[in-house]
Structure 1
């Protein structure tokens, strides 16, 4: 396919631009359906006249429906959108970029989604779909899946709900809860994923930032210990990665505490561990659940995070702990390569 795309770019570069435009339209409808023309034009920053012409063309191809509530994709429209995603990946040279990052970081697998989630919110939804597809391909019946919280993992849960994919698995939160919105807490995401898959789930009702004495007491509670044992035995772990600013906000840390962590050189956080640019752990949140050292026991460990601003945090976490797969976006991937090649 790459050679065909290269020839197409030379002979008919205008075709690529048209394909990109129609992919953007189909993808925007997929994530916002039902959606009206005016709203779609506003989201894509395109004139209504352009949108009207493209929508008419796509409707003739039976790729979308239009009714009084707005536009929705047909089954064929969803299938074509999925195929176009791979075309856009190849067009952007993302396969080569994946191989380069695998080589630089000694990772078995890297999956890169086109775009930058810092710039386009739909790219985060694309990351969620990529994470959902990964789970669909890798999960086996009776396995234990551990997940963290966060907006990207929430997108994974939502994408699984649209896939009509069932699997008898046990889903558990990887860590105790943060002081954040309920919908992006690990417990909520674990329950949603289990519901979408038709599996079972166990919840861990323990907050972060407990005293060491309180943690020791809780860890010996029979109900808590049972869940912690299940988390430690997880066959597949899917976790997010955060910047210091993002995670300190989610954890409700004060300004002085944030300054203290940054002064130690921390650039990223995963599973309650603050990590510097070389992958060294410089601070740890007092919490309960999965620890970085536990990842060595899991069969598959998947980090999913995107956006150019997170590149340094992602790179730090790749250095800190063994990972099976990194799922990220083009914005983060290109910046990761730049940071590595600068050294």
Structure 2
């Protein structure tokens, strides 16, 4: 038997001190007065209790599973920031608003005066703006990363740039060009126009990017529903291995750009260059975004992610299945 091990009475005293401190919330000076000990003695007993393994701290909170998901995602992919918000059961819209709020909070944490913020279009970015709570103005410049899509005003990139700049108290630089062009030649011509080139140069100097990821099939395939691509054609793209859309570019499961003609006709910042922006935050929610999220992460286009609990779990589960 170890002669230095505490005896029964000492163990009882240690346990009493630990109970008063951790369960009843008493300070060490209060415990000392209550038990007739010195504060130094109480401190030594607490330390001894820890060394003996008598202290196990369990945090009971509904947020703990979310933190676990954030750690798992950050372990699987090299993420600088990962935010997983609770799902609102039965309401995809309310869940998207939660994701937008989480993305807005993250944006304000990383944003600094003088920054350029590059953005894409989409419902997720619109939800971010609607739920953005700002308590001061930011001297920032908001710039689009893509051309616009007709017929989708409230989720159009120029509208979102203007709205975000208004919320932050900054300035928006607009991009007057369509996302989809009729040919590669038309796209190359537009990209060479000085006004378009100037916007892309500003994107290259962005400190933060906010981007959605799109699905190719399903009700949320906004870019390719707005573009004259039939549902049958979008299904064919999916069957050929396309799993998502990033800045309008079609990407496969590994995040590689598709070699089809659609990608050559986009007025948009290149995904591999977007990956060089210091903080690139992907914002997405819903079952149709699971494969696009994985594709964008595998391609290395995102270093930060904001999503909801169910989507995060599905991303990790699908990743395990495909491994």
> Does the pair score TM above 0.5?
yes
Residues 145, 268 of structure 2: 8 Å contact kept = yes
Residues 118, 307 of structure 1: 8 Å contact kept = no
Q: Is 1:185 aligned with 2:159?
A: no
Change (3 A) 1:280 1:235: same
Task: State the partner residue of 2:112.
Answer: 140
Task: State the partner residue of 1:313.
Answer: 292
1:97 to 52, 65, 69: 69
Alignment of 1:232-251 (within 5 A): 232-245=204-217, 246-247=221-222, 248-251=224-227
The Cα offsets for residues 277-326 of structure 1, whole Å up to 9 and x where unpaired, read as 23222245321231101123311111010113321111111101242211
User: Of Structure 1 and Structure 2, which has the larger fraction of its residues in helix?
Assistant: 1
Instruction: Give the distance between the partners of 1:128 and 1:231, measured in 2 at CA.
Output: 22
Residues 117, 124 of structure 1: 8 Å contact kept = no
Aligned length: 255
2:252 to 259, 263, 276: 276
Task: State the partner residue of 2:25.
Answer: none
Task: State the partner residue of 1:66.
Answer: none
Instruction: Specify the SS of the correspondent of 1:237.
Output: strand
**TM-score, normalised with respect to structure 1:** 0.70
Residues 117, 141 of structure 2: 8 Å contact kept = yes
Q: Is 1:231 aligned with 2:231?
A: no
2:242 to 263, 266, 269: 266
2:62 to 83, 88, 91: 88
Offset at residue 197 of structure 1 (A): 0.9
Offset at residue 116 of structure 1 (A): 5.9
Offset at residue 220 of structure 1 (A): 2.4
Query: Which is higher, the Rg of structure 1 or of structure 2?
Result: 2
Task: Give runs of ≥4 in structure 1 deviating > 3 Å.
Answer: 116-120
Instruction: Specify the SS of the correspondent of 1:313.
Output: helix
2:305 to 318, 326, 341: 326
Q: Is 1:156 aligned with 2:128?
A: yes
Residues 277, 312 of structure 1: 8 Å contact kept = yes
Structure 1: gaps spanning 5 or more residues: 1-85
Instruction: Give the distance between the partners of 2:205 and 2:227, measured in 1 at CA.
Output: 26
Instruction: Give the distance between the partners of 1:178 and 1:118, measured in 2 at CA.
Output: 30
Offset at residue 117 of structure 1 (A): 8.0
Residues 88, 94 of structure 2: 8 Å contact kept = no
Change (3 A) 1:87 1:251: farther
Instruction: Specify the SS of the correspondent of 2:131.
Output: helix
Alpha-carbon RMSD across the aligned residues, in angstroms, is 2.0
Residues 82, 306 of structure 2: 8 Å contact kept = yes
Task: State the partner residue of 1:41.
Answer: none
Offset at residue 87 of structure 1 (A): 4.9
Change (3 A) 1:164 1:207: same
Offset at residue 119 of structure 1 (A): 4.1
Q: Is 1:303 aligned with 2:301?
A: no
Offset at residue 199 of structure 1 (A): 0.6
Instruction: Give the distance between the partners of 1:223 and 1:278, measured in 2 at CA.
Output: 33
Offset at residue 99 of structure 1 (A): 0.6
Q: Is 1:121 aligned with 2:100?
A: no
Residues 249, 266 of structure 2: 8 Å contact kept = no
Instruction: Specify the SS of the correspondent of 1:123.
Output: helix
Instruction: Give the distance between the partners of 2:162 and 2:196, measured in 1 at CA.
Output: 17
